[in-house]
Amino acid sequence: MTQPIHDSLLARMRETEQMPGLSVLDHGLLVADHFRDLADHVRTGAPLRFAWKLPDWVRDPRLWARLPADETLERYQTFHDCGKPSCLVLGEDGRRHFPDHARVSKEVWLSLGECPEVAELIGMDMDVHLLKDEGVAEFAARPQAAALVLTGLAEIHANAGLFGGIESTSFRIKYKQIDRRGKAILARWPA
């Protein structure tokens, strides 16, 4: 990464646990690393370093042609949860909750004078995970759609190890959702 990131942001991300044993910063780095693994595999045929379940659509060149620059993607993936330290709420059960964290993360990123293109991706980060059938057309029309769906795929794989791996029920539910959405998005694009 060539642009400086404020030390205080990095410190807050390191100090805030996404979940026990995993900081917000470590989670972002893990997502970016999983995406690089996938990108290297698709672009150059490099062997995968992580366990993956790859959907049929992941190699579609229309996805990869619509991505922003690699540096933009890496900054988005690494810092997509940068606002979580600002919106952390501990529930009565002791679990961590981060209400409206995508919006808060976008605001934090912009408040530091950072890249607006990265901020837009950060602000939309949860959209692919929450996408319903009726929203696919609007989502597919976004210039950020390819980055969001491929990052979403990397996110569920980066998190899989925390929930029992890619064979776990939790992963299979998330994978089924993103697989359906990826197919639906690509069906909206010209061949």
pTM exceeds 0.85 for this model:
yes
Least trusted range by pLDDT, from 49-58, 63-72, 89-98? 89-98
Mean pLDDT of 137-166: 95
pLDDT band at 163 (very low <50, low <70, confident <90, very high): confident
Mean pLDDT of 44-53: 97
Strand boundaries in 14-111, DSSP class E: 17-19, 22-23, 89-90, 96-97
Which residues share a beta bridge with 89? 97
pLDDT band at 21 (very low <50, low <70, confident <90, very high): confident
Note the pLDDT of residue 128. 95
Looking at the predicted structure, is the pLDDT value of residue 160 above 70? yes
Look at residue 23 and give its three-state secondary structure: strand
Q: Which domains does the chain have, with CATH numbers?
A: 7-187 (1.10.3210)
Look at residue 39 and give its three-state secondary structure: helix
Note the pLDDT of residue 57. 98
Q: What is each CA distance from 36 to 50, 105, 130, in whole angstroms? A: 11, 22, 24
How much is the mean pLDDT over the chain?
Answer: 94
Q: For residues 94 and 43, give the distance between their C-alpha atoms in angstroms, rounded to a whole number.
A: 43
Note the pLDDT of residue 2. 42
Structure tokens at 56: 């049929």
Q: For residues 184 and 177, give the distance between their C-alpha atoms in angstroms, rounded to a whole number.
A: 11
Mean pLDDT of 1-11: 73
Note the pLDDT of residue 3. 52
Note the pLDDT of residue 137. 97
Which residues share a beta bridge with 19? 22
β-strand pairing of 22-23 with 17-19: antiparallel
Q: Which value, in Å, is the radius of gyration of the alpha carbons in the chain?
A: 16
pLDDT band at 191 (very low <50, low <70, confident <90, very high): confident
- Asked if 157 contacts 166 with a C-beta cutoff of 8 angstroms, the reply is yes
Amino acid in position 44: T
